[in-house]
Structure 1
Amino acid sequence: MVHEWLDRWREGRIGFHRPEAHPALVRYWPQLGVRAGTKVLVPLCGKSLDMRWLASHDHPVLGIELAEEAIEQFVAEGGGSVSRYRQGPFEVCRQGSVELWHGDFFHFHIDQAAEIGAFYDRAALIALPPATRQRYAFHLAQLTPPGARGLVVALTRAPGDEAAGPPFHVPAEEVRELFEPNFQLTHLEDDEAEGESGFRESIWAMVRRGPST
């Protein structure tokens, strides 16, 4: 799975990359009530322009990506000075208010996430096979403090095509099973995913539960 992801970037097979910010991010992020200045975690971020949209709306961004090609393309296409440094096992590339951490999301730990106050997942959950999604949901909960808000995009495939992927079929009942132990969920909409015939995207708002919720 990891090798397939890296091969896609090396070979330029990145049809999942959008040339603009995701409409659901633009539509729903302002409704979440995330304060300006809150740092947003973006797992498996690729070179998503959603990060630039968040940064333009006064949010520092911390993206985590395994493919070095994605990070280098993001900074090359963005222009502006770049600083590079190391944090534990991660090589970090910073451009403006966007930090890109090159490495495995599951190696990113709570002590490195001290400033995280929100999250956005357009392509992480649906990129992971079933056996890894439970681990992902638990790790995201570990990294986000009580009250942290975010958006998660899931995806469903046409009947008979559910086993294909990535991107993987993640129906509403699985989203609830994965996240409800640690997050309050609100299903916002189902919509056709542009350019992906037979796919439907489902958009979820989530709030990290506290000890008594």
Structure 2
Amino acid sequence: MDPTFWHQKWQNSELGFHLPQVHPLLKRYLGGLSLEAGQTVFLPLCGKTLDIGYLLEQGFSVIGAELSDKAVTDLFASLNRQPDITPWQGGNRYRHGDLTVFQGDIFLLQPDDLEAVDAIYDRAALVALPDSMRERYARHMVTLNDKAPQLLITLEYDQQQMDGPPFSVGEQQVRTLYDNDYRIAPLSRKMILDHEPVFRERGVTALYENVFLLT
């Protein structure tokens, strides 16, 4: 997908993917990752999600990756943090204490950039990518984070009814992408169309939110 698409979304404040609260499914299922205080959670394509503040409050360190510099700047401002900004091979690294965000091309990140990652929380990354990029992304997550456990949230609907993003990713595709490296446990599948009027307006007749634990 053309990076210009996402830069324009942020510049135009077209942020339908940004939740105005901490994701309730993160609160409900975070314990499944069996993390201890001080361990590190990686959030790919993190935007300025409020989930980061929640994870920091729980005592975890957070590493994010995000294409948009505006998103990263807004994130640190929302947390009242003044980051130290240094270059890396894909963009700029923003860091303050227990929060680091790599702004730029996530596919240029290397394991040595992240050091140790204990878990991955993917709420909006896999579903943001078209089918042609998902296998590359999944392989990158596996090698980048040494098969760290994942809490993965996806949306599922009839892709013929609406063009993404967000794209439809059901259980079968999650298994196709990750079965060779993880044990995949479906945790939840819930119809959410009544809470997503934009999808209904665009012609979607059924919309499910799925949660998977990958270990």
Task: Give the drift of 1:160.
Answer: 4.1
Q: Which residue of 2 aligns with 1:28?
A: 29
Identity %: 32
Task: Give the drift of 1:199.
Answer: 2.3
Q: Which residue of 2 aligns with 1:149?
A: 149
Instruction: Look up the SS of the partner of 1:31 in the other structure.
Output: helix
Question: Are residues 159 and 108 of structure 1, via their aligned partners in 2, closer, same or farther at CA, if it must alter by over 3 Å?
Answer: closer
CA deviations on 1:119-158 (whole Å, 9 max, x unpaired) are 1100000000001000011110001235x22201111114
Q: Which residue of 2 aligns with 1:211?
A: none
Q: TM-score, normalised by structure 2?
A: 0.89
How far apart in 1 are the matches of 2:44 and 2:32? Answer: 21
- Give the unaligned 5+ runs of structure 1: 208-213
- Give the unaligned 5+ runs of structure 2: 201-205
Task: Give the drift of 1:96.
Answer: 4.0
Structure 2 letter corresponding to 1:152 = L
Instruction: Look up the SS of the partner of 2:73 in the other structure.
Output: helix
Q: Which residue of 1 aligns with 2:208?
A: 200
Residues 32, 213 of structure 2: 8 Å contact kept: no
Q: Is 2:193 the partner of 1:185?
A: no
Residues 189, 208 of structure 2: 8 Å contact kept: yes
Aligned length: 205
User: 90-99 or 192-201, which moves further after superposition?
Assistant: 192-201
How far apart in 1 are the matches of 2:159 and 2:87? Answer: 45
How far apart in 1 are the matches of 2:113 and 2:52? Answer: 19
Q: Which residue of 1 aligns with 2:117?
A: 116
Task: Give the drift of 1:36.
Answer: 1.8
Residues 34, 149 of structure 1: 8 Å contact kept: no
5 Å matches for 1:115-134?
Answer: 115-134=116-135
Structure 1 letter corresponding to 2:153 = V
CA deviations on 1:34-71 (whole Å, 9 max, x unpaired) are 22211111110000111111111111111000011101
Q: Which residue of 2 aligns with 1:16?
A: 17
Question: Are residues 43 and 159 of structure 1, via their aligned partners in 2, closer, same or farther at CA, if it must alter by over 3 Å?
Answer: closer
Q: Which residue of 1 aligns with 2:85?
A: 84
Q: Which residue of 1 aligns with 2:203?
A: none
Instruction: Look up the SS of the partner of 1:116 in the other structure.
Output: coil
User: 17-26 or 151-160, which moves further after superposition?
Assistant: 151-160
CA deviations on 1:182-204 (whole Å, 9 max, x unpaired) are 11111000124443544211001
Instruction: Look up the SS of the partner of 1:135 in the other structure.
Output: helix
Q: Which residue of 2 aligns with 1:172?
A: 171
More helix by share: 2
Instruction: Look up the SS of the partner of 2:214 in the other structure.
Output: strand
Residues 80, 96 of structure 1: 8 Å contact kept: no
Question: Are residues 94 and 113 of structure 1, via their aligned partners in 2, closer, same or farther at CA, if it must alter by over 3 Å?
Answer: closer
Instruction: Look up the SS of the partner of 1:183 in the other structure.
Output: coil
Instruction: Look up the SS of the partner of 2:183 in the other structure.
Output: strand
